[in-house]
């Protein structure tokens, strides 16, 4: 990176890379949660062409909040998949220091270090945008190639941490840094050339890795954990306003059976107790963050005296 650039200038270039040549009216979504109060996620929508105002808004939020940005421009004030018409980048999420973009046909143009050791977000800018279904297939291929996260992060409505913010999961908060920003664009076929395509769609990370029936957390009735995690009462019709996006009419359905879990028909997220807690608490469903996620869930729902509980009591 050019050390002479300012955080604001870097962010403007980063947002311009995400926005691409989006037609007039495109929006970039900013989602944030106050790190002190752990309140529910809030949203802002900014003109995708006004990267300066967007950079100012993100820098203002970063000191006190975990901040995320919708990678794909939205065509309406909605954070769900149906708001996405096209995307101007492919991306991958890696969380191991020995994994990365080596040996790929095209190196990622943007690399963001997320503030957790070994965890990076990789972006490949596109000359020609992709529709959501094409994008998700391409993201799955890249995730397979770099041994990255093959769960919900592949989706068109994905939100990721922008550079020059702070990761408030750590104490003290750790900086989210920009390692590389090369805005040169490539055709998707060139980026994916020769890479193996996964044989079947990949399940969400938490469901795939922690779906064993022996896990008592996965036996909890969905209505119980949805109410506890969201603060919303589940009515007889089993639909509530989704806390993960701006939801004017209830679109999150709570199923009766634990194996069916929950699903939001507005933002197309769903899964198990792990997936909901991950989204509400801003914790990943893999690595050391998963251990914290599971410990907190056990503390809350199983009342087990975990190491996490002892650490909290000692503070």
Helix spans in the chain (H): 7-19, 51-62, 132-146, 188-192, 205-209, 222-230, 273-281, 287-297, 307-314
Alpha-carbon gap, residue 188 to 194, rounded angstroms: 12
Alpha-carbon gap, residue 20 to 194, rounded angstroms: 25
Q: Domain end: 148, 167, 192, which one?
A: 192
Percent helix / strand / coil, the chain, rounded to 5: 30, 20, 45
Query: pTM for the whole thing?
Result: 0.68
CATH code: domain of residue 57: 3.30.70.1790
Residue 199 in domain? no
Alpha-carbon gap, residue 139 to 127, rounded angstroms: 16
Q: What is the DSSP string of 167-203?
A: ETTSSSPEEEEEEEE----B-HHHHHTTPPPPSSPPP
Alpha-carbon gap, residue 237 to 235, rounded angstroms: 5
| Secondary structure class of 234 (helix, strand, coil) | coil
pLDDT for the residue numbered 9: 97
pLDDT for the residue numbered 48: 97
Clarify whether residues 210 and 178 are in a common domain: no
Clarify whether residues 125 and 265 are in a common domain: no
pLDDT for the residue numbered 59: 97
Per this entry, what is the length of the chain? Answer: 315
Clarify whether residues 133 and 90 are in a common domain: yes
Residue 198 in domain? no
Clarify whether residues 85 and 226 are in a common domain: no
Clarify whether residues 135 and 211 are in a common domain: no
pLDDT for the residue numbered 286: 76
Residue 197 in domain? no
pLDDT for the residue numbered 307: 42
Clarify whether residues 48 and 174 are in a common domain: yes
Clarify whether residues 144 and 242 are in a common domain: no
Residue 200 in domain? no
Q: Domain end: 128, 162, 192, which one?
A: 192
Residue 1 in domain? no
Residue 259 in domain? yes
pLDDT for the residue numbered 311: 41
Domain that holds residue 138: 7-192
**CA neighbours within 13 Å on the CB side: how many for 133?**
0
Residue 292 in domain? yes
Of the candidates 309, 303, 302, the residue with the CA atom closest to the CA atom of residue 220: 302
Alpha-carbon gap, residue 64 to 42, rounded angstroms: 13
Of the candidates 109, 88, 110, the residue with the CA atom closest to the CA atom of residue 21: 88
Question: Can you say whether the dihedral through the CA atoms of 151, 157, 249, 45 is positive or negative?
Answer: positive
Clarify whether residues 45 and 130 are in a common domain: yes
User: Structurally, how many domains does the chain consist of?
Assistant: 2
Clarify whether residues 118 and 19 are in a common domain: yes
pLDDT for the residue numbered 258: 86
CATH code: domain of residue 259: 3.90.580.10
Q: What is the DSSP string of 247-266?
A: -SS--EEE-SSTTT-EEETT
Structure tokens given for 197: 């395509």
How many contiguous H segments (helices) and E segments (strands) does the chain have? 9, 13
Clarify whether residues 147 and 224 are in a common domain: no
Tens-digit pLDDT string for the chain (315 aa): 555 689 999 999 999 999 999 999 999 999 998 766 666 778 999 999 999 999 999 999 998 899 999 999 999 998 888 899 999 999 999 877 666 667 799 999 999 999 988 899 999 999 999 999 899 999 999 998 998 887 778 889 899 999 999 998 888 999 999 999 999 999 999 999 999 877 644 444 444 444 444 789 999 999 999 999 998 999 988 999 988 887 878 888 899 888 888 988 777 788 899 999 988 888 878 777 888 888 999 989 987 544 434 444 334
Residue 141 in domain? yes
For tokens 């004030």, the residue is 77
pLDDT for the residue numbered 154: 85
pLDDT for the residue numbered 161: 95
pLDDT for the residue numbered 201: 42
Of the candidates 206, 70, 164, 177, the residue with the CA atom closest to the CA atom of residue 117: 177
Clarify whether residues 16 and 139 are in a common domain: yes
Q: Domain end: 161, 192, 223, which one?
A: 192
Alpha-carbon gap, residue 309 to 176, rounded angstroms: 28
pLDDT for the residue numbered 315: 40
Alpha-carbon gap, residue 306 to 184, rounded angstroms: 48
Clarify whether residues 101 and 57 are in a common domain: yes
Of the candidates 4, 18, 6, the residue with the CA atom closest to the CA atom of residue 183: 18
């Amino acid at each position: 990176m050019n050390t002479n650039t300012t955080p604001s200038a870097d962010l403007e270039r980063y947002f311009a890379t995400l926005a691409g040549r989006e037609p007039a009216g495109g929006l970039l979504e900013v989602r944030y949660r106050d790190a002190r109060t752990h309140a529910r996620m809030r949203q802002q929508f900014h003109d995708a062409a006004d990267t300066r105002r967007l950079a100012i808004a993100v820098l203002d939020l970063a000191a006190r909040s975990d901040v995320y940005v919708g990678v794909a421009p939205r065509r309406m004030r909605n954070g769900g998949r149906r708001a996405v018409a096209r995307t101007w980048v492919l991306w991958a999420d890696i969380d191991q220091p020995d994994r990365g973009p080596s040996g790929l046909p095209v190196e990622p143009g943007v690399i963001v270090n997320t503030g957790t050791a070994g965890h990076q977000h990789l972006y490949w800018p596109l000359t020609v945008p992709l529709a959501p279904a094409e994008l998700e297939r391409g993201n799955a291929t890249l995730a397979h190639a770099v041994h990255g996260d093959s769960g919900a992060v592949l989706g068109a409505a994905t939100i990721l941490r922008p550079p020059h913010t702070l990761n408030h999961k750590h104490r003290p908060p750790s900086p989210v840094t920009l390692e590389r920003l090369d805005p040169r664009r490539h055709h998707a076929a060139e980026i994916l050339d020769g890479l193996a395509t996964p044989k079947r769609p990949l399940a969400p990370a938490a469901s795939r890795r922690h779906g064993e029936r022996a896990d008592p957390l996965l036996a909890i009735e969905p209505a119980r954990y949805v109410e506890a995690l969201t603060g919303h009462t589940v009515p007889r019709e089993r639909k509530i306003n989704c806390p993960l996006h701006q939801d004017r009419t209830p679109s999150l359905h709570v199923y009766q059976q634990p194996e069916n879990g929950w699903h939001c028909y507005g933002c197309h997220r769903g899964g198990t107790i792990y997936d909901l807690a991950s989204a509400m608490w801003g914790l990943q469903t893999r690595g050391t963050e998963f251990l914290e996620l599971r410990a907190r869930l056990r503390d809350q729902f199983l009342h087990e005296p975990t190491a996490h509980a002892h650490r909290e009591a000692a503070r």
